Amino acid sequence: MSGDGLDPVSFLERAVPVASNDDVEAMRELLVETLDSHGADPTVDDAGNTIASKGASDPETHLVLNTHIDTVSPHIPYEREDGIIHGRGSCDAKGPLAALLAAFFAADPAPDARVTLAITPDEELLSTGAAALDVDGDMYIVGEPTGLDVCTAAKGRFEGTVTLGGVAAHAAEPASGANAIDALEPVLRAIRSFDDGRDAHPDLGAATLTPTMVDGGENSNQVPAACRLVVDRRSVPPETADGFRTSLVETLRSVVADDVDVDFELTERPTPFLEAFATDPDHELVTALADASRGAGGRGDVRPFTAATEASYFSPAPVVVFGPGVLADDEGAVAHADREYVLTDHVRTAAKALVDAVDHLVA
């Protein structure tokens, strides 16, 4: 069973050739056309989200199916070989979209239930669509390439810049100034030990804090008055972006000399950072989808997802990540890589699993 008249592989064969790395308009037109042709009556909101619903207007149970239509650059042309679809978006995330569409069209909600398909336009950059999405679900399934596993948790990702401010002076008289680059030494030690003593998350493991870029100084014969260090944070629950910033500032101020100013600011962005999330693996949403995946021919393993996703915007409501395709295989990267592909059997398996899980959850 693959949906009410929708063959997910046929849809994917139409979707992958449509470039959606620089502009999603053509891909959104295909999506809206597909929804219209099945009587779904979709709407597109001011943020570019495509939304369609069926079922009760005031439901006791509201299940939301979500993924995105944008892709990373460059666009990789569509190719088809026996059992495999190649091209940009084949697994991230038009393959998952095809499976979600099949489930949405097949859904027949009970009188007190509702199913909503909510497709966002900007997941790969700033998540402007998901941040503006006005859909109040009780449970969420987010389509991403998980190898047909059910992912219940993911680390968040924050980014920011440590700024060290000293006093410029002639390098021949270094003691007459305050060397901002010298202050990197205790800062780097503090970053390496920042998570010492913190409990690892039972599913996601330990958070990480990694220095990624550094610059400082104006002249080769001058004591530098400023130094900047960019850090990458992969968080675990319950840490928030604001909580991380406060904790890191306190830590750094405690180790830097008094004659050097220190500050840390998160990188400015128009939408919230993708924070960590974790759903109870015993929740019905998880068990229903894992059982359905196994029943359809997948492993149905329950595990964390290894990349940050818009699923964090929907937490603390129960949310899982699921779909055909993989982020990487034994040969290397798949999603975001020139060799991006998805197995057509996995697309059909994901569609059947989602059809059965949605039926269990809302019928």
Q: What is the largest CA-CA distance in the chain?
A: 81
Report how far residue 95's alpha carbon sits from residue 351's, in angstroms, rounded to the nearest whole number.
10
* Bridge partners, 209 (sequence order): 233
Annotation marks residue 218 as catalytic: no
The one-letter code for the residue type at 235 is: S
Report how far residue 312's alpha carbon sits from residue 335's, in angstroms, rounded to the nearest whole number.
20
* Cis bond before residue 174 (omega within 30° of 0): no
From 92, 122, 123, 144, active-site residue: 123
Report how far residue 232's alpha carbon sits from residue 211's, in angstroms, rounded to the nearest whole number.
6
The one-letter code for the residue type at 304 is: P
Q: DSSP characters for 66-122? A: EEE---PSSP---EEETTEEESTTTTTTHHHHHHHHHHHHH----TTEEEEEEEES-
Let me know if 270 is exposed, middle or buried by CB neighbors in 10 A (0-12, 13-18, 19+): exposed
Annotation marks residue 123 as catalytic: yes
Q: Which residues contact 261 (CB under 8 A, 6 or more apart)?
A: 163, 164, 165, 166
Report how far residue 152's alpha carbon sits from residue 324's, in angstroms, rounded to the nearest whole number.
16
Positions annotated as catalytic residues are: 70, 123
